[in-house]
Amino acid sequence: MNLISSSCLLLLRSFSRNIHRRNTHPFISRLYTEGSSQTTVELSKAQLQKLRVQEQRFKRRLHSVHRKFSVVPENSEFQGQHHVYFEDGKGIYRSPLGHDEQEMLEVFNADWGGGGYGTIQRVRLSPSETMLAVAVKKDHHEETRCMLVPLGGVIHCQKALLVLDNVLSFEWATDDVLYYSTQETLRCLCVFRLHLSDSDVETTLVYKEKDPEFFVEVSRSRDQRLVTINCSSKISSEVWFVDSKTPLSFPTLIQSRQPGLLYHVEHSDNYLFILANTGANQEYQLLRAPLASPTMPHWVPLFSAVPGTVIKDMELLQDLCVFTVKDSQCRLQIQTLSTQEPYQLNTHQLPHWACDLSPQRVGTVDRGSFGFLLSSPVHPPVRYLYSSREQKLSVTEDTTKYISLTEFNTTRLQAASQDGTMVPLTLLHMPALSELHKAPLLLHVYGAYGVDLNMAFSPEKRMLMEDGWALAYCHVRGGGERGLAWHRAGSVLQKRRGVEDLAACIQTLHHLGVSHPALTALTARSAGAVLAGALCNHNPQLLKAVILQAPFLDVLGTMQDPSLPLTIEERGEWGDPLIREHWDNIASYCPCHNIIPQLYPSMLITAYSEDHRVPLSGIMKYVERLKKAIQVCTTRDGVNARVPVVILDLQPGGDHFGPEDFHLSLNESARQLAFLYTELDHQKTRRRQKERSNNLTGKSHRPRN
């Protein structure tokens, strides 16, 4: 079970003019990058050439660092009754269990779907391994289709048996019954049942959501007994189930939706195991109910999180629940609870560097173990396995390949926010904390939808740290790092708390001697840009540069337009501007509506021309207002110092979450790194550090051009 799946799916929901002749004014460019960068306006030749040279240099470096970590473990493998399967993003291959991987056979290729659908998003194997269902995404867009492929006998086909358009989630109830949800204009409201027979294919609508604030997805219990239909809004949820023993029956309701009630279900031995926010402070606790009597009056509490920790996820094994929990400083732990009396709780400590836990794909067999990958933004993934039989947590692969990596520090800090709340902060660095005053600092923030910051391994982040950067992750209110209450404390009328938390994190780091404003940059994407943009309006002096990707910047304008696909669904996060109190609150922090004449940090804003989640008009409005404010400030105050740069990198397509294509993604990362190093002038600092290091070791140094 993935507790953030509903939130993440909700979240997944969730021109410039010629520049002035003088260098004291900001420049804005549209960069269309298909092959090489081009710009539609005249820029300083020196500035443009410097950026392009830097971008090409970083492309070479990124290719090198990705090759270095090309063999790190991934969740690309899953197992059936007779075969092991491997997925590489474009194709799926299998080999018989116990045989060498040399015998791998292609069973699916994303190109079979045609029409520009080319990236695998979701894979489900039928219980007896006779059918494969695969969702593929259209290149540069969010449309997906589900392709069904038969696996029985010798596989010769080069096409799918059946193609279902606009399918988001799906699960097999049996080898011939598939349940799936459809998505239109980012809304997912309907669930269908597909029955494959020898003579016909029958499709039946089994559920239709009537409330536009809800989002519907299909999932399956780990023991494969139940297919569940999960209906979720920002403030409540409702779950229906179909028993695979009667796959053609209509769904049974577990508990009807109630305002404020969130719950998720698993199944084992005719009992439902329910994670619901019925614990203290409306946090998750584990309850149990008979499958035959699933409603709330029959829910019996089994376990609540230890004070100071919150439950982030749960996997149900045979006679055992495995919880992923976080403590007050966002350290990860594994806790196990026996599901039979006497209930016994055990805690398993994880390495201090662990920041991200990614569960291994579940196949069609083996409920006796829980496999997962541990990583951090700068530590490559390591595969772990918890065995319920041995009640033991172990590393399942040789980690000596990482010994050559330079040691780094993971420092857990807390910052006191404006109202006294202590905000967790994770700092990754190589030099000691006391030696970071002159280090460039890259901050990360999100703080929305109850979703944790992404802290999985990134070769780019590893490269930055080895270049001397310190990386800070601000776990502000509005995110999910400290549980459901942490999210509530930073949503709707409390959204400004996240901005205050972010400012407190930056000020705390500077006070501790970690970097300084002239060497501090901030990166955020999508809804995280709300906090970043608001901070720049109120505390621009804290930062030198900002990178925003697919940014949500015009909250007030967007939330007043109910014709946009996500406006109604998002009211539980941002508020409803039709309510005066909500309108005033959004207007008080909305980045686009609080720009004033002052010197802002330099900005690189990446947007996508067909992004349906974040209206491009809001981004363009923000950029124009920002440009005008900086020009007014520099003209009024006669600024002679270097003026902030504002670059709009407008890319084709609708890849709100960034390009799927490796080379396009690499190009985007290279542009961002070129911007950061140029604005913070880090190349000179890095060169001086190398020269000092080489002088100490007696090595000569000749800088590259």
Mean pLDDT of 3-18: 33
Q: What pLDDT, on a 0 to 100 scale, did the predictor assign at position 402?
A: 57
Q: Output the pLDDT for position 159.
A: 72
pLDDT for residue 35: 35
* pLDDT > 60? residue 261: yes
Is residue 249 among the annotated active site residues?
no
- For residues 607 and 192, give the distance between their C-alpha atoms in angstroms, rounded to a whole number: 35
Read off the pLDDT of residues 529-553 as tens digits, 9 standing for 90 and up: 999 999 999 999 999 999 999 999 9
Residue 5: per-residue pLDDT: 36
Give 603's pLDDT tier (boundaries 50, 70, 90): very high
pLDDT tens digits for 450-471? 999 999 999 999 999 999 999 9
Q: How confident is the model at residue 509 (pLDDT cuts 50, 70, 90)?
A: very high
Q: What is the mean pLDDT of residues 420-436?
A: 97
Give the confidence band of 26 by pLDDT, cuts at 50, 70, 90: very low
Where would I find the beta strands (DSSP E) of 377-417? 379-387, 392-395, 409-416
CA R_g for the chain = 26
Query: Is 70 exceeded by the pLDDT of residue 407?
Result: yes
Buried b (16+ CB within 10 A) or exposed e, 617-636: ebbbbbbbbbbebbbebbee
Q: What is the pLDDT of residues 563-589, one digit of tens each?
A: 999 999 999 999 999 999 999 999 999
Which of 611, 649, 655, 669 is the catalytic position? 611
Sequential DSSP letters for 47-84: HHHHHHHHHHHHHHHHHHHHHHTTTS--S-EEE-SSEE
Q: What is the mean pLDDT of the chain?
A: 87
pLDDT category at 692 given cuts 50, 70, 90 is very low
pLDDT for the residue 75: 73
What long-range pairs does 77-83 form, CB within 8 A, spacing at least 24? 77/360, 77/361, 78/123, 78/125, 78/361, 78/362, 78/363, 79/363, 79/364, 79/365, 79/366, 80/125, 80/129, 80/363, 80/364, 80/365, 81/128, 81/129, 81/364, 81/365, 82/129, 83/129
State the average pLDDT over residues 591-598: 97
Question: Which DSSP string corresponds to 589-646?
Answer: H-GGG---SS-PPEEEEEEETT-SSS-HHHHHHHHHHHHHHHHHHHHHHT--SPPPPE
Question: How many CB atoms within 10 Å of residue 498?
Answer: 29
Q: Are strands 520-525 and 441-444 parallel, antiparallel or unpaired?
A: parallel
Which whole number is the average pLDDT over 65-94?
86
- Catalytic (active site) residue 611: yes
Interval 196-242: pLDDT, tens: 988 889 999 999 999 999 999 999 999 999 999 999 999 999 999 99
From 71-75, 97-101, 224-228, the region with the lowest mean pLDDT:
97-101
Specify the pLDDT at position 362.
64
Give the SS3 label for residue 668.
Answer: helix
Cβ 312 vs Cβ 358: under 8 Å = no
What was the pLDDT predicted at 700?
Answer: 37
> Is residue 394 predicted with pLDDT exceeding 60?
yes
Q: What average pLDDT does range 674-703 have in this prediction? A: 59
pLDDT digits over 312-364, tens only?
Answer: 999 999 889 999 999 999 999 999 999 887 788 999 999 999 999 999 876 65
What does pTM read for this prediction? 0.89
- Contact of 53 with 59, CB cutoff 8 Å: no
Closest CA to 382 of 364, 370, 400: 400
CA torsion through residues 573, 520, 594, 607, sign: negative
pLDDT band at 366 (very low <50, low <70, confident <90, very high): low
Q: Annotated catalytic, 656?
A: yes
In this predicted structure, what is the pLDDT of residue 702? 32
In contact, 232 and 569? CB cutoff 8 Å: no
Question: Which of 150-164, 228-242, 270-284 is the least confident region?
Answer: 150-164
Q: Concatenate the DSSP letters of all residues of 264-281 into one string.
A: EEEEETTEEEEEES-SGG
Give me the pLDDT at residue 425, please.
98
Dump pLDDT digits (tens) for 29-42: 334 333 333 332 33
Q: What stretches of 451-544 show up as alpha helix (H) in DSSP?
A: 459-466, 484-488, 496-511, 528-538
**Distance from first CA to last CA of the chain, Å, rounded?**
52
- Residue 236: CB atoms within 10 A of its CB come to 20
Report how far residue 324's alpha carbon sits from residue 373's, in angstroms, rounded to the nearest whole number: 12
Please, which residues bridge with residue 191 across strands?
181, 207
The catalytic residue among 83, 264, 475, 656 is: 656
The reported pLDDT for the residue numbered 360 is: 85
- Amino acid present at 388: S
Confidence of residue 388 (pLDDT cuts 50, 70, 90): confident
Q: Report whether pLDDT(134) > 50.
A: yes
Q: Which of 20-34, 115-129, 454-468 has the lowest mean pLDDT?
A: 20-34
Q: Is 486 exposed, middle or buried (0-12, 13-18, 19+ CB in 10 A)?
A: buried
Signed CA dihedral, 631, 633, 635, 641: sign only: negative
- In whole angstroms, what is the distance from residue 636 CA to residue 645 CA? 18
Give residue 649's pLDDT: 93
Report the pLDDT averaged over residues 306-315: 92
pLDDT-wise least confident of 2-6, 474-478, 487-491: 2-6
Do 132 and 148 contact (CB within 8 A), yes or no?
A: yes
Tell me the residue type at 489: A
pLDDT of residue 690: 53
CB neighbourhood size of 245 (10 A): 10
Q: 526, 602, 655, 682: which is the annotated catalytic residue?
A: 526
Tokens encoding 494: 């409390």
Q: How many CB atoms lie within 10 A of CB 309?
A: 19
| Distance, CA of 456 to CA of 454 (rounded, Å) | 6
Main-chain phi, psi angles of 365, to 5 degrees: -140, 170
> Is the pLDDT score of 699 beyond 50?
no
CA dihedral 313, 317, 319, 323 (to 10 degrees): -20
pLDDT confidence tier of residue 82, bands split at 50, 70 and 90: confident
* Count of residues in the chain: 705
CA–CA distance from 172 to each of 148, 151, 268, 367, 594 (Å)? 11, 14, 18, 18, 50
Residue 621 is predicted with a pLDDT of 97
pLDDT for res 585: 98
